Structure 1
């Protein structure tokens, strides 16, 4: 609960701080004309009319069209990744809410220095190249997001349900249990168990519990028993997040787990935090650079209408990614779905190659000169 509150507060403070900084630093262009007598209806009508006009005129701005195609792809992929991250962490990786919320908070704090760093990088190697670097960062992040994998529980303390033997009474007590929304109940071959923390179970009642957990398809938790006649017995449910091998891409997280996560002893929650830091480093830079590059290839004197269209494209771009994610999840699994979203980001990065910034800036300057003379 505390982590959730901190994450929500961090989002608010971060957004407010960036807004204040923007208002103080970015100069407001002089107002050239004031539209008087606008009603709510006429304002909406005027906005859509100018949007249609801008769309028709975009044909004269070939570089802008190519860039918008690239932006439509890579922004769709990035926004989809951000949208499904929480569900992917909880459902596929079994990450606790506290780690999820802590990751959100970390992203907010890391995003600011990340954006500043990419700003300096753009000054050195140009905006387009810096944006490509940011998108390559997203590609690596998604690749390792697919590679995240819970470690197989080995020690007694690693398991979800931990039962300990009480010598004095000869029974077992549930020493630790996961924080679940619903009470854990298991029925198997006429037997019934509930495993609330602090519950006491007789040795006879536990005799078939490990086998029941292993045989019950929907069980995604693990069990370990210490002490007494059942000392050392453990079981993983068939749906436990650490069990890999059935999915088309499960070889990848299995490989990375054996190569990186297990040697480092890095639990999946900390793997997720590491991904969060990486996201924070690139999210601010990729968003800021995308807008900066667009500003370079659009007429300054028509920035309002062009950026209104850019904002419209930002909202409209979140179409392909969610659709692909839903279909891939239904046909395969969530890891394949996330990898499929990666292809959209890759496609957008490739299309960005054909964006000629110098040519776009030249056409934009000519348009500024034309409107100034008009």
Structure 2
């Protein structure tokens, strides 16, 4: 591979394309294998952990508990429950990543470690497909599978990132990192399109939503495994000048722990890198939390349909594909620092807007209500249509469960009107959705609607004697006014979303367009900048530390989200992320990239001299 020369903050004037073209066919093949692993595991990163798993976890939790529950006085919603699931998996990675990084720097086993993480991730991604069929405990089983699957994904990414400095010259890091992101977004989008077709396509009625969800999880696992193979076949294990021989696994772990402690102390030798890592801890916390919680927020707070959430994330990634490449080229011309700072500010604006998203008033729109009753003149009955074709009760993926405490009042009042069984005769694995009401039953129900609004659902009748009668529960997402930021959401609805006719789905797509413009750029440039600031002779150790910082952020962000919801609500939790991103951005503006590169190259020179002396 071409020798590495000193790099400045910007690579303007350097022909990066020529540098990459001069690489040998074998080196290009190795780099292509690395790109394809990003193409592969984005099936998990996008479809699973960003779209389906958050949405399904929040939905299953809300159904099982009746819209949320309290734990020792703390409020827990579907979105905050998912944030706790993310915290659990990220905590494990935060502890293990630095230790594995040190071992991989001393022993040529990066590919072996990545293989183990990949197999774990693939297996437990496939197992997620069983969760929707597990009744009232589905949200618990799904959480377990997500935790272990995410360990496979996130832990593998720490090792995967550590390959990058060995695959191309230092001047090409911006381009390589950005192209890797383009591959990733491309792979994620392709499999997401397949999944979107399955979820909204004209499949037989016998194919249930739970079966479709299972298909999504299993095919995501197969995609990850299949497209990940080129890396293991074609990308070589990075060479280690003086590999260490350990007497046992325990000995290796002991040495690794000691080295991690040393790394914590020695990080002060790299003041620029230290400052960058602190800023990264903060801004990545915000960026990661926004990406991780968007789907759960959409389901739990805005009650978006699964297809809309998937279309949103597809839009995000389709926009991100060209913008990641454009961001990389912009970094080459204007400098990584300016481009990354601009991307982070866009994230802040997007988060503020997200706290102001709200469903439009429902009075004039029959089709947006959870339970729609359409009069059939020929049979003198009201046919029941359930929003998003969900089941009314009593499966894991229905609107309300048989036992959720939050829906107790709703069940007592409306159960016989929405199901074709009794509470005593029902079980938690059967769909009891009723198809129609007689006009007498409809009249009884509309009388009840006036007095019982202590619930999270809405009803609307059209035609017949009950024409135009509607009811929206006090806890329905469209009912604003009680939350600390509900005034902001009402202002935005009255002055922007309403006049523009932007439904909550369009509001979410608008957010996706904004995030898509900078998502890949922020991630790629942060990864690229870190690769410039670290010594090449200690790449995996430092990328392990980078992974630790990233996972520490991934622990902190969702945990802060859950704690904020416990004392407030989801909108306030999103707003706290803005403050975190701004704090990280303020620190990042003080990073001197040229000085940081000089510090890294000086360490490489010292390590090279030590190797010569030992020989």
Could you tell me the TM-score, scaled by structure 2's length?
0.54
2:560 maps to 1:324? yes
Question: For the structure 1 residues 21 and 36, does the alpha-carbon distance in structure 2 shift closer, same or farther, using more than 3 Å as the test?
Answer: closer
* 89, 112, 116: which one aligns with 2:298: 89
Question: For the structure 1 residues 287 and 9, does the alpha-carbon distance in structure 2 shift closer, same or farther, using more than 3 Å as the test?
Answer: farther
Task: Give the superposed CA RMSD.
Answer: 3.2
Question: For the structure 1 residues 315 and 265, does the alpha-carbon distance in structure 2 shift closer, same or farther, using more than 3 Å as the test?
Answer: same
2:404 maps to 1:194? no
- Unpaired runs of 5+ in structure 2? 1-194, 200-212, 395-399, 401-409, 420-431, 611-615
2:334 maps to 1:125? yes
Q: What is aligned with 2:380? A: 170
Higher helix share: 2
Once residues 36 and 21 of structure 1 are traced to their aligned partners in structure 2, the CA distance between those partners, rounded to angstroms, is 26
2:535 maps to 1:299? yes
Alignment of 1:31-110 (within 5 A): 31-36=240-245, 39-110=248-319
2:600 maps to 1:364? yes
Q: What is aligned with 2:357? A: 148
How far did residue 226 of structure 1 move?
1.6
How far did residue 175 of structure 1 move?
4.2
Structure 2 counterpart SS, 1:149: coil
Deviations 1:289-323 (A, max 9, x none): 11211222222333232222111221222233223
Once residues 15 and 107 of structure 1 are traced to their aligned partners in structure 2, the CA distance between those partners, rounded to angstroms, is 24
Once residues 170 and 107 of structure 1 are traced to their aligned partners in structure 2, the CA distance between those partners, rounded to angstroms, is 46
Once residues 7 and 262 of structure 1 are traced to their aligned partners in structure 2, the CA distance between those partners, rounded to angstroms, is 37
Whether the 8 Å CA contact 1:328–1:337 is kept in 2: the answer is yes
Question: For the structure 1 residues 353 and 302, does the alpha-carbon distance in structure 2 shift closer, same or farther, using more than 3 Å as the test?
Answer: same
Question: For the structure 1 residues 279 and 237, does the alpha-carbon distance in structure 2 shift closer, same or farther, using more than 3 Å as the test?
Answer: same
Structure 1 counterpart SS, 2:298: helix
- Deviates most, 241-250 or 360-369: 360-369
Structure 1 counterpart SS, 2:355: helix
How far did residue 217 of structure 1 move?
4.5
Number of equivalences: 372
Once residues 515 and 467 of structure 2 are traced to their aligned partners in structure 1, the CA distance between those partners, rounded to angstroms, is 43
Once residues 214 and 142 of structure 1 are traced to their aligned partners in structure 2, the CA distance between those partners, rounded to angstroms, is 37
Structure 2 counterpart SS, 1:284: helix
Whether the 8 Å CA contact 1:175–1:198 is kept in 2: the answer is no
* 343, 346, 350: which one aligns with 2:579: 343
Once residues 12 and 259 of structure 1 are traced to their aligned partners in structure 2, the CA distance between those partners, rounded to angstroms, is 47
Whether the 8 Å CA contact 1:186–1:194 is kept in 2: the answer is no
Q: What is aligned with 1:213? A: 449
Whether the 8 Å CA contact 1:75–1:317 is kept in 2: the answer is yes
Q: What is aligned with 1:257? A: 493
Could you tell me the TM-score, scaled by structure 1's length?
0.86
Once residues 232 and 323 of structure 2 are traced to their aligned partners in structure 1, the CA distance between those partners, rounded to angstroms, is 16
Question: For the structure 1 residues 287 and 214, does the alpha-carbon distance in structure 2 shift closer, same or farther, using more than 3 Å as the test?
Answer: farther
2:507 maps to 1:271? yes
Structure 2 counterpart SS, 1:147: coil
Whether the 8 Å CA contact 2:386–2:392 is kept in 1: the answer is no
